[in-house]
């Protein structure tokens, strides 16, 4: 649930970003931006490898609520909720470009090329970012957001208006982060 909330926010951010840059950026640039969002999305959770039951030799296919496994030693607040494992696995596969076939009407080879380019650029960027404290701060900020949301989920009183305001703040923060990142890349 937590991660779907985050995806929803990122989707909203994406639409906002498209609106802002409408007419300016080309498709490749937009795709790259989208890929940045995927990366943002991925740092919110643990990086441990997920295996689907169908990929392993386990015997509980169909017998459990979830059909996936993870050998995760991450701290509790970073762990992926069991019911989200399949969803995260699909997201990661998509980020790797293996799921491009699912994009349907979009030109497959062109999309694949763009994803490969974005991946190359991302590798360079990652190397540079590792040297910077800035990225550590960003990750920490995301973690704090995650924790805030977890607490919200358990809260009994829930002011929807307040949540919408917080969502706007989160989106603004993310827009700022992405803008900063784009500046660094430029």
Contact footprint for Zn ion (CB under 5 A): 46, 48, 53, 58, 60, 72, 74
Which CB sits closer to Zn ion, 46 or 175?
46
Q: How far is the CB of 170 from Zn ion (least distance, A)?
A: 24
> What HEC string does the chain produce?
CHHHHHHHHHHHHHHHHHHHHCCCCCHHHHHHHHHHHHHHHHCCCCCCCEEEHHHCCCCCCCCCCCCEEECCCCCHHHCCCHHHHHHHHHHHHHHCCCCHHHHCCCCHHHHHHHHHHHHHHHHHHHHHHHCCHHHHHHHHHHHHHHHHHHHHHHCCCCCHHHHHHHHHHHHHHHHHHHHHHHHHHC
Q: How far is the CB of 158 from Zn ion (least distance, A)?
A: 29
Residue nearest to Zn ion (CB): 46
Which CB sits closer to Zn ion, 46 or 90?
46
Q: How far is the CB of 2 from Zn ion (least distance, A)?
A: 14
Q: How far is the CB of 182 from Zn ion (least distance, A)?
A: 29
Which CB sits closer to Zn ion, 53 or 177?
53
């Amino acid at each position: 649930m937590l991660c779907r909330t985050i995806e929803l926010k990122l989707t909203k951010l994406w639409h906002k970003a498209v609106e802002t840059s409408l007419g300016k950026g080309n498709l490749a640039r937009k795709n790259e931006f989208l890929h940045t969002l995927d990366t943002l999305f991925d740092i919110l959770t643990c990086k441990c490898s997920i295996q689907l039951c169908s990929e392993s030799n386990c015997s509980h296919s169909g017998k459990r609520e979830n059909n996936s496994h993870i050998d995760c030693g991450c701290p509790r607040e970073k762990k992926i909720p069991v019911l989200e494992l399949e969803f995260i696995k699909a997201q990661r596969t998509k980020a790797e470009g293996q799921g491009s076939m699912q994009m349907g009407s979009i030109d497959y080879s062109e999309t694949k090329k763009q994803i490969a380019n974005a991946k190359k650029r991302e590798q360079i960027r990652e190397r540079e970012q590792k040297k910077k404290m800035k990225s550590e701060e960003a990750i920490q900020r995301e973690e704090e957001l995650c924790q805030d949301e977890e607490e919200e989920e358990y809260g009994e009183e829930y002011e929807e208006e307040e949540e919408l305001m917080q969502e706007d703040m989160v989106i603004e923060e993310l827009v700022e982060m992405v803008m900063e990142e784009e500046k660094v890349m430029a």
